[in-house]
Amino acid sequence: HFLVQSGMNKIELNYTFQSIPGFRKCNNFNFREFKFAQTMIFAVNQINKSPEMLPGVTLGYKIYDNCGTMDILRAALALVSGLQEDPGDVGCPDTEAVRVILGHSGSSPTIAFSQIVGRFHIPVISHFATCACLSNRREHPTFFRTIPSDYYQSKALAKLVRHFGWTWIGAVAVDNEYGSDGIAAFIQAAEDYGVCVEYSEAFSSSDPPHVVQRITETIKQSTSKVIVAFMSHREIKILTSELHKQNITGLQWIGSDAWITDPSLADGEGHSVLLGSLGFTVPKAKIPGLEEHLRQLHPSQFPNSQFVKDFWEEAFDCSLNDTVNSERRPCSGIESLQTVESQFTDVSELRFTNNVYKSVFAVAHALDLIIKCGGDEAPWSSRSCFDPKHIQPWQILQSLHRVNFTTVNGQRVYFDRNGDSPARYELVNLQITTRGIMEGETVGIYDASFPDDQQFIMNNISVVWANGLSEAPVSECSKKCLPGTYKLLQKGKPICCHDCIPCPAGEITNLTESLQCFKCPPEFWSNNQRDSCVPKPVEFLSYSEILGMVLAMCSLLGIFLTTIAMLIFFTHKETPIVRANNSELSFLLLVSLTLCFLCSLTFIGRPTEWSCMLRHTAFGMTFVLCIACVLGKTMVVLIAFRATRPGSNVMKWFGAAQQRLSVLAFTLIQVLICLLWLSTSPPFPFMNFVLFEDRIVLQCDLGSAIGFYAVLGYIGFLAVLCFVLAFLARKLPDNFNEAKFITFSMLIFTSVWITFIPAYVSSPGKLSDAVEIFAILASAYGVLFCIFLPKCWIILFRPEQNTKKHIMGKT
């Protein structure tokens, strides 16, 4: 029963046994941990031999082995209390408690005893415990480490995944604080880069087989091809062995530093599954003199050390104790490590071993600062220097925060306020070397001290990928959305699972994996691929299109027919039918019809400032001239009939001069309306972006709608007036009563322009111009055919009717 008390805090530990327990014997010997211990001894010996460091002080040590169990708590309490009953104690003969604890290699055991020894202000320096939780100064106030925290490793792994474009991954971890905290930090960092985790599983080496089988089935059913594994070498070998049995291959493994460079991986049954794995680990280093120290090891140097005895028997497969029950041959005594090539003597890649070396020297530098008074920055600088025999753990704790030195291999060692070391990793790729074994080849580096965009750098060394691929595998839930499409998340699935939807018309995106499309500027429109904006086509009624050509041909045909009629009338101007129908007004009417056909051409072609003003004003004035002529002819018919009555002198009031004056007066009114329109708010060309989304309509704006409707209204007023007068004169007794034909022409004219208004308003774009041209041509052709076609027919084909007697109705 142990009771540990510090201040107002109390921890009570209870162990109940039927008898006093003995020390457990380890089943397997861990060469790596033994190498760590020998490195610590080598560093201690170097420091003790150095004349510059710790003068007059000799460092001692105690080594405990917990066989991978939580008996580390028992060792920690023994170190704190100063007891020496455990076998393997080497070094200081006194019974004082230790001042600093180096280790453990695992995060979970370190978490367990760090909280206990922290209450006694004893520094704990680990070379391999990477759990980010150990940076919590409230829970672990005395913890330091010479290996970077998993917080940085998680960020580095997330950047690695992003670098190769993997957005859909799986995650497995060891079921302890190291695994859960590491994988949680990785998932958080990966999500910041848009990476999704399909599944996250955890297990430990002590779990029953069905747990590993369940995880294996999850991996088999998944669609992700990349797996991030936060676990130790024990768990990864168990998992890959099961995957190998079920022939599950082709997976790209991303490993944590706890297993990615572990030499024992090659001993596992499924080590081929891990070929091509990538992972970050601490940089390689060289420790001068370490190899000689390791090769000179002999049991005679540590006759009472069970550790050395177990190592020697494992290394040479012999027994140091010649017992009857021994299954091994007795050692000959001439065994030597000088010619042995093994994991223990290999110093080609001193990664975590170098962390042990740095830990010892960090303690030595902290003690050196204390013994040499620590400089002006020391918290005890106002006092006298301390006696080396009475240095307290809290003094070493404070001194460790000020340690800053460079090792013999050029690595800088210091601790931040959380006890963490600088984060620098090498990216290793598991490859088959020329020696035929699987080893880690450095293919990149990660340095957290660099700017964010320069922290991860790949070397020019080819990467070996899983399943022998020549390039990085693809692992994504959904294919990348190419330019022209945007991502639409799938309901109930992670953000990496999406559909690629084409951008709507008028919107584009030239980015990959775009979340939205962007509208093109008003004068642009999206191309067919929806990845760029192109200028909208400008649309107007042009001569190059069929509609424009047809309307232009109809206009020219009208001019041609009007010219023919004018020539016929001119050549037969002395005939009764021409003279009887007021030849002067007829010629003026034909000229106005020619101008009407011509003004329709101003509506075709690219609108300009002058064409916009000309088309409506010319149309208004020519049509008023035309209708004024028709109105004059109608009035002549009516007045002529009145003049035939006895005693009538009407004709003297409406002679040729009055007819010309009436036509001029009617036309001048329209001219004044047009001038007023042009002077206040004239028509102008503009680009209509609203009418159609995919094209620009270039048209003429009316400027003032009132001016346009005033022009149309005046034309309509004259047309209705002319129609009424002609209708009244339609039954006058005359063989060739022109009022009948004028009635038909004005009926066509008014019908056309009454239907024109709704058709014009409802016609979009250039079709409104086409409707206006059609109305002009239709009304002009109506006047031409109704008034002049019958006369031309009689002149050309019925000359017998072109007599004064026939016209007067006397035949």
**What tens digit of pLDDT does each residue of 26-53 get?**
667 788 888 999 999 999 999 999 888 8
The pLDDT value recorded for residue 85 is: 45
In our burial notation (b when 16+ CB lie closer than 10 A, e otherwise), range 722-741 reads bbebbbebbebebebbbbbb
Contact between 146 and 421 (Cβ < 8 Å): yes
358 pLDDT band, cuts 50/70/90, is very high
pLDDT > 50? residue 281: yes
pLDDT > 80? residue 482: yes
Residues 125-144: pLDDT tens digits?
A: 999 888 889 999 999 999 99
Q: What are phi and psi of 667, to 5 degrees?
A: -70, -35
Closest CA to 310 of 545, 63, 78, 81: 63
Helical segments of 453-582, H only: 546-571, 576-580
| Rounded Cα gap, residues 153 and 189, in angstroms | 10
In our burial notation (b when 16+ CB lie closer than 10 A, e otherwise), range 624-647 reads bbbbbbbbbbbbbbbbbbeeeeee
- HEC profile of 471-499: CCCCCCCCCCCCCCEEEEECCCCCCCCEE
Do strands 412-414 and 424-432 pair parallel, antiparallel, or not at all (unpaired)? Answer: unpaired
The pLDDT value recorded for residue 38 is: 92
Q: Longest Cα pair distance anywhere in the chain, in angstroms?
A: 170
The pLDDT value recorded for residue 509 is: 93
| Cis peptide leading into residue 210 (ω within 30°) | no
Contact between 132 and 181 (Cβ < 8 Å): yes
Structure token digits, residue 560: 């041609």
Contact between 625 and 671 (Cβ < 8 Å): no
Q: Which residue has the tokens 């020219």?
A: 556
Q: Which residue has the tokens 């020539």?
A: 567
Distance between first and last Cα of the chain: 152
- What is the number of H-type helices and E-type strands within the chain? 21, 26
Q: What is the pTM of this model?
A: 0.63
The pLDDT value recorded for residue 173 is: 94
> Rounded to whole angstroms, what are the CA distances from 330 to 315, 317, 661?
13, 9, 146
Contact between 456 and 159 (Cβ < 8 Å): yes
**Beta-bridge mates of residue 202:** 173
Residues 440-457: pLDDT tens digits?
A: 899 999 998 888 888 889
| Rounded Cα gap, residues 301 and 283, in angstroms | 32
| Rounded Cα gap, residues 359 and 361, in angstroms | 5
**Beta-bridge mates of residue 173:** 202, 230
| Residue 56 backbone zone (phi > 0: left; psi -120 to 50: alpha; other: beta) | left
Give the contacts of 533 (CB within 8 A, at least 6 positions apart). 508, 520, 521, 524, 525, 526, 527
| Rounded Cα gap, residues 770 and 672, in angstroms | 27
The pLDDT value recorded for residue 2 is: 28
Going from the N-terminus, what domains does the chain have, and what CATH number goes with each? 2-147+287-297+337-410 (3.40.50.2300), 151-283+422-468 (3.40.50.2300), 485-535 (no CATH), 546-807 (1.20.1070.10)
Sign of CA dihedral 382, 383, 386, 390: negative
**Long-range contacts of 373-379, Cβ-Cβ distance < 8 Å, separation of 24 or more:** 374/399, 374/402, 377/402, 378/402
The pLDDT value recorded for residue 780 is: 87
* DSSP3 helix / strand / coil % (the chain, rounded to 5): 45, 15, 40
Residue 383: CA count within 13 A, CB half-sphere: 8
776 pLDDT band, cuts 50/70/90, is confident
The pLDDT value recorded for residue 386 is: 66
Contact between 100 and 363 (Cβ < 8 Å): yes
Structure token digits, residue 668: 């001048």
Q: Which residue has the tokens 């695994």?
A: 179
> Rounded to whole angstroms, what are the CA distances from 712 to 632, 681, 783, 788?
20, 16, 17, 25
pLDDT > 50? residue 196: yes
Q: What is the mean pLDDT of residues 358-378?
A: 80
Residues 626-682: pLDDT tens digits?
A: 888 877 777 766 666 655 555 555 555 555 676 778 888 888 988 898 999 988 888
Other beta carbons less than 10 A from residue 519's beta carbon: 13
Residues 400-443: pLDDT tens digits?
A: 999 999 988 888 999 999 999 989 999 999 988 777 788 889 99
697 pLDDT band, cuts 50/70/90, is confident
Q: Which of 72-86, 219-233, 465-479 has the lowest mean pLDDT?
A: 72-86
Closest CA to 361 of 556, 144, 180, 516: 144
Q: What is the mean pLDDT of residues 318-344?
A: 79
The pLDDT value recorded for residue 626 is: 84
Residues in the chain: 811
Structure token digits, residue 33: 């941990």
Q: What is the identity of the amino acid at 612?
A: C
Q: What is the mean pLDDT of residues 558-583?
A: 81
Contact between 252 and 278 (Cβ < 8 Å): yes
- HEC profile of 386-424: CCHHHCCHHHHHHHHCCCEEECCCCCEEECCCCCCCCCE
Other beta carbons less than 10 A from residue 201's beta carbon: 19
Contact between 596 and 772 (Cβ < 8 Å): no
Do strands 278-281 and 424-432 pair parallel, antiparallel, or not at all (unpaired)? Answer: antiparallel
Contact between 322 and 330 (Cβ < 8 Å): yes
Closest CA to 724 of 631, 621, 592, 593: 631
* Percentage, residues of the chain above pLDDT 70: 85
Residue 102: CA count within 13 A, CB half-sphere: 27
Distance of CA 713 to the CA centre of its chain: 60
- HEC profile of 435-460: CCCEEEEEEEEEECCCCHHHCEEECC
Q: Which residue has the tokens 């239907």?
A: 755
